[in-house]
Amino acid sequence: MTLGSGPRELVVLGTAGAVPTRERNHNGYLLRWDGTSVLFDPGEGIQRQMLHAGVSSPRIERICVTHRHNDHCLGVPGVLNRMAQDRPGRELTIHGPQDAVEHLHGLAVVAQANVRVRVQGHPALQEEVPVADVAGSALTARALDHRVPALGYRLTEPGHVTFSREALAAAGITGPDVGRLQREGELRGVRLEDVSTRRRGQVFAFVMDTRLCPAVGEVVAGADLAVLECTFAERDVDLARARGHLTAAQAGDVAARAGVRTLVLTHVSARYRGEELGREARAAVAAAGGRTTVHVAQDLDVVAVPPRRGRG
């Protein structure tokens, strides 16, 4: 099912929890962003899912892994071999927590693919850690709370200033003075906000296996599109806490309070139907007074990043 189209969109390759089912493949999420692609948490079978989804491996510049559990990274060897078939000798960076570096190196070695792989480990800190530049947007990570060190990822586009030609003409500002006004914020009594509109950049957030903790809300704060796990229903909240996961209601509540525009729920345990989890998440959004749109992902869904908003 396609929810939207455009150059910025999420292709859902797999949505199962620890165990795949007849309807759900292991994890896998591809973010298309301004001509490049980032692959998140490729579990087993993702190479085949890429074929079903029409995903082109040459556009994948990096793989981001949240933690070293195999349902989130066992697909790395197959993906590397696919890349070697499509473009031999290419370069690729795999990101993950420092705790996962040895494991990710091993997966790359097992692949024996003609791909120049760089595995980059990042510290799991209670603050944003720079990861990479993705087509001019900043990819960062911070620690979550799972049974092993885990990272949540956030991709933030810089804000933009759009000038009004009419307002500039009325203020008598032309040529190089336009750039000076943008740099200094005020020129000859004219303020930048008087002749322009500030448009916030888009934000994408990705949170997989974690207990509910303040970091979840911080990673997804103000996100236009956020992917959150919802392994358990609220009736099993104690089990979720013990195993280091979120419930659907917790995901909905935190997304609503953080101002997420579209929430994609995934990592669904085989014990549930997606409809039940969707109802719980939507009820939590309503109870929090939020306006978040909730979508329970199915394999091969394509979800567009919502269009940019104006001032902000």
Catalytic residues: 71
- Coil, strand or helix: which one is 3? coil
The total number of residues written for the chain in this structure: 312
> What interhelical angle do 274-287 and 248-257 show, nearest 10?
40
Q: Is 146 annotated as a binding residue?
A: yes
Q: Is 209 annotated as a binding residue?
A: yes
Spatial separation of the C-alpha atoms in residues 86 and 71, rounded to whole Å: 25
Contact 46, 25 (CB under 8 A): yes
Q: Is 224 annotated as a binding residue?
A: no
Spatial separation of the C-alpha atoms in residues 309 and 82, rounded to whole Å: 37
Q: Is 103 annotated as a binding residue?
A: no
Contact 206, 153 (CB under 8 A): yes
Q: What are phi and psi of 54, to 5 degrees?
A: 70, 30
β-strands 129-134, 137-143 pairing = antiparallel
Nearest to 89 by CA among 56, 59, 121, 113: 113
Distances (CA, A) of 310 to 9, 148, 157, 196: 20, 40, 14, 11
Q: Is 72 annotated as a binding residue?
A: yes
Q: Is 26 annotated as a binding residue?
A: no
Nearest to 221 by CA among 211, 240, 207: 207
Q: Which residues are annotated as a binding site?
A: 67, 69, 71-72, 146, 209, 267
Q: Which residues are annotated as a binding site for Zn(2+)?
A: 67, 69, 71-72, 146, 209, 267
